[in-house]
Amino acid sequence: MQISTPGLLFPAISLLMLAYTNRFLGLASLMRQILSKFQEHGKHSDWQQIDNLRFRISLLRYTQAMGVSSLLLCTASIFSIFLGSDQGARIFFAAAVIFMAVSLCLSLWEIHLSVVSLDIEISNIKSKNNKGKK
């Protein structure tokens, strides 16, 4: 195994971590807005959104943890190559790829939940429109 093999994951993981961090910041901001709205109106649909956001933020925390673990395992793989342990480098690299795959799967799950959140908002708007037409 060459040192460039685990090095290939570094830019990908770095970009993923940036995307995850931006996603987290966006969700945290949205959570603050909905909490403020809930304190003013106390609607059940707002509470549904809060629950959804709390779970999504937890998923993002685990997604980021898997990404950081993947980066650390890539570093360990490179260090193993430096020490001359090809077997150790392969094990660390395989684990890094697995952690990265788990991170991507968690991210996909979080994206699915964001669609559920949008569906809640759409149903709220529909119910308001239906009440206004009566």
CB burial readout 84-93, b (16+ within 10 A) else e:
eeeebbbebb
Residue of higher predicted confidence among 27 and 44: 27
85 φ/ψ angles, rounded to the nearest 5 degrees: -100, 90
Spatial distance between the Cα atoms of 25 and 114, rounded to a whole number of angstroms? 14
> pLDDT tens-digit profile of 97-118?
999 999 999 999 999 988 888 8
Reply yes or no on whether the pLDDT at 41 is more than 90: no
Domain extent listing, the chain: 4-126
> pLDDT tens-digit profile of 65-78?
999 999 999 999 99
Q: Which two tokens stand for residue 122?
A: 């759409």
- What distances in angstroms separate CA 15 from CA 50, 75, 93, 117, 120, one per listed residue? 28, 16, 18, 25, 30
Q: Which two tokens stand for residue 109?
A: 């799950």
Reply yes or no on whether the pLDDT at 40 is more than 90: no
pTM: 0.80
Q: Which two tokens stand for residue 65?
A: 């943890």
- What distances in angstroms separate CA 16 from CA 51, 72, 85, 95, 107, one per listed residue? 25, 14, 28, 17, 10
